[in-house]
């Protein structure tokens, strides 16, 4: 079973043009990739023994006009974990699905689409999970406005 350093080197060799940065991180190491390589990275990680995807989420950077997607991978045999990160545009972003590799990613991709608006190409059954069908927009974007919701002032 490979450590993060060995796996990062393997990713760099296999996905050279799409690797943007490799870092030991603050607490959890990470690899930044071009979003188009998400499926290739997941395939390589699964093959390297990262048998679990803990979650997929996104961070909104409205001033930059981007979202940062974060996939959190974990290896139970070695107790190793790390993030794969990718930047995408805030609107109209498309990223390849990884649900054919990590089956439980299907629900997580649905949630990221619903909350942030990132579409996952090849997703087998995209649907809303947490909000009604009639709701417009994506509630976790920082500039999301819904007249039916009452804003709570910052204190």
pLDDT exceeds cutoff 90 at 152: no
Task: Look up the pTM and report it.
Answer: 0.89
Residue 20 has pLDDT above 70, yes or no: yes
pLDDT score at 56: 98
Percent of the chain with pLDDT over 90: 58
User: Tens digits of per-residue pLDDT, 62-109?
Assistant: 999 999 999 999 999 889 898 999 999 999 999 999 999 999 999 999
Q: Measured between alpha carbons, how far is 133 from 88 in angstroms, rounded to an integer?
A: 25
3 pLDDT more than 80 = no
Q: What integer pLDDT is reported at residue 151 of this predicted model?
A: 65
Q: Distance between CA atoms of 116 and 37, rounded to whole angstroms?
A: 20
At residue 95, φ and ψ (nearest 5 deg) are -135, 145
Residue 143 has pLDDT above 70, yes or no: yes
Give me the mean pLDDT over the 46-63 stretch.
95
Residue 145's pLDDT band (boundaries 50, 70, 90)?
Answer: confident
Reply yes or no on whether the pLDDT at 1 is more than 70.
no
Compute the 3-state secondary structure of the chain and give helix, strand, coil in percent, each to the nearest 5: 25, 30, 45
**Mean pLDDT score across all residues of the chain:** 90
CA distances from 65 to 18, 34, 68, 88, 137 (A): 21, 16, 10, 9, 16
CB 135 within 8 A of CB 141: no
pLDDT-wise least confident of 26-30, 32-36, 49-53, 101-105: 26-30
- Rounded to 5 degrees, what are φ and ψ at 44? -65, -40
Q: How far apart are the first and last CA of the chain?
A: 48
Whose structure tokens read 């545009």? 89
> Mean per-residue pLDDT for 46-51?
90
Contact at 8 Å (CB) between 92 and 17?
no
Judged by DSSP in three states, 56 sits in strand
């Amino acid at each position: 079973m490979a450590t993060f350093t060995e796996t990062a080197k393997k990713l760099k060799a296999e996905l050279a043009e799409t690797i943007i940065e490799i870092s030991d991180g603050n607490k959890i190491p990470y690899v930044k990739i071009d979003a188009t390589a998400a499926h290739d990275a997941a395939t390589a990680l699964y093959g390297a023994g990262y048998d679990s995807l803990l979650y997929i989420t996104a961070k909104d950077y409205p001033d930059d006009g981007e979202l940062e997607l974060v996939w959190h991978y974990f290896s139970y045999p070695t107790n190793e974990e790390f993030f794969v990160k990718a930047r995408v545009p805030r609107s109209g972003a498309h990223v390849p699905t990884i649900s054919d590799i990590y089956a439980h990613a299907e629900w997580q991709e649905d949630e990221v689409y619903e909350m942030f608006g990132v579409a996952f190409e090849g997703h087998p059954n995209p649907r809303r999970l947490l909000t009604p069908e009639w709701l417009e927009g994506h509630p976790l974007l920082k500039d999301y406005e819904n007249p039916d919701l009452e804003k709570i002032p910052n204190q």
